[in-house]
Amino acid sequence: MTAAYAVKDLKLRVEKIEDVLAAVAAGDKDVRVNSETEDDFSGVEFAIDLLIDDLMDELDQKEKTQKEMEKKLATIQQQQQTIRQQQDDLLELSSPVTKVWDNILILPVIGTLDSRRAQIMMENLLDKIVQTGCTYAILDITGVPTIDTQVANHLLKTVTAARLLGGECIISGISPAIAQTIVHLGIDLSSINTKATMQEAMKTAFLSNNHKSSELNHDEEESPREMK
């Protein structure tokens, strides 16, 4: 008697389990068999519900971990950005631009000159030229042994941009190795104003400066600009 009863509902109950599992596969997290019967088969129904519970727990756990990782990734990216900014700030501090005389700026560069540093130097120098109104800027790279093509391009860019602004950028202290790099790049050296030493560059700038100012004062009573 009991066996026949069990079999009659069994088909329905098996179908219910199939439906529940299909719903779970489709994404329904809350569906369960929830059998209200208590017999030999209900053990299976109960086990299936427990299985689904475990599965859902695992999925939740995975989602949580995923979210945490995304958060961590965002934090790391932000930190990278901060580090980049700090590096730039350091680079800026390490290449101070000094004003000498009336109208002449000097930027001595020491150590490795990489693309990023060259970029920062360029912006720094051009900003200073505009801020101070100094027409001459001397970029001294005596302390730089070699440069790559990217940096050479940045230097050329600095000179060209300075000219566009209405100033003049002289590069001094070019080592033979660097001279080779520049020439190999096909850069026309005559397009850059270069001097062997910083002293010569300063002399050139100073002379051009005084030449200019003495011409201006040509017709005036004032004495030529005094040397500071």
Partner 1 sequence: MFESANVVENKQIEGFSIESELDIVKARQLVRNIAKQLHMGIVDQTRITTAVSELFRNMFQYAGGGEVLVESGVHNGRDAVIVTCIDHGPGIADLDSAMKDGYTSGKGMGFGLPGAKRLVDEFQIDSRVNEGTTVRVIKWI
Partner 2 sequence: MNELAANRKIPIIKIKDFLIVSIQVDMHDRLAIELQAQILEELSRTGAKGVLIDISVLEMVDSFIGRMLSGMASMASIMDAAVVIVGMQPAVAITLVELGLEMPGVDTALNMENGIAMLEKRLESQSELYKPNGA
164 binds, among partner 2, partner 1, none (CB under 5 to 8 A by kind): partner 2
Q: How far is the CB of 158 from partner 2 (least distance, A)?
A: 9
- Kindly tell me which residue out of 81, 149, 160, 217 binds partner 1, with binding defined by CB under 8 A: 81
Measured from the CB atom, the residue of 49 and 123 that comes closer to partner 1 is 123
Measured from the CB atom, the residue of 78 and 180 that comes closer to partner 1 is 78
The radius of gyration computed from the CA coordinates of the chain, to the nearest angstrom, equals 38
- Kindly tell me which residue out of 104, 118, 122, 192 binds partner 2, with binding defined by CB under 8 A: 122
- Which of the residues 138 through 157 are near partner 2 (CB under 8 A)? 157
Question: Site for partner 2 (CB under 8 A): how many residues?
Answer: 22
**Contact in structure between 141 and 172 (CB atoms under 8 Å):** yes
Measured from the CB atom, the residue of 81 and 197 that comes closer to partner 1 is 81
User: If you ran DSSP here, which 8-state letter would residue 112 be given?
Assistant: -
77 binds, among partner 1, partner 2, none (CB under 5 to 8 A by kind): partner 1
Measured at the CA of 49, the angle between CA 48 and CA 52, to 5 degrees, comes to: 85
Helix (H) or strand (E) holding 154: helix 149-165
- Kindly tell me which residue out of 123, 142, 187, 225 binds partner 1, with binding defined by CB under 8 A: 123
Most distant CA pair in the chain, distance: 132
- Which of the residues 159 through 188 are near partner 2 (CB under 8 A)? 160-167
Measured from the CB atom, the residue of 113 and 122 that comes closer to partner 1 is 122
Measured from the CB atom, the residue of 41 and 101 that comes closer to partner 2 is 101
Long-range contacts of 180-183 (CB under 8 A, 24+ apart): 181/146, 181/147, 181/148, 181/149, 181/152, 182/152, 182/155
The side-by-side arrangement of strands in the sheet containing 104-110 is 98-100, 104-110, 136-143, 168-172, 193-195
**Contact in structure between 134 and 162 (CB atoms under 8 Å):** no
Q: Is 218 in the site for partner 2 (CB under 8 A)?
A: yes
**Contact in structure between 111 and 144 (CB atoms under 8 Å):** yes
Q: Is 126 in the site for partner 2 (CB under 8 A)?
A: yes
Residues that bind partner 1 (CB under 8 A): 77, 81, 123
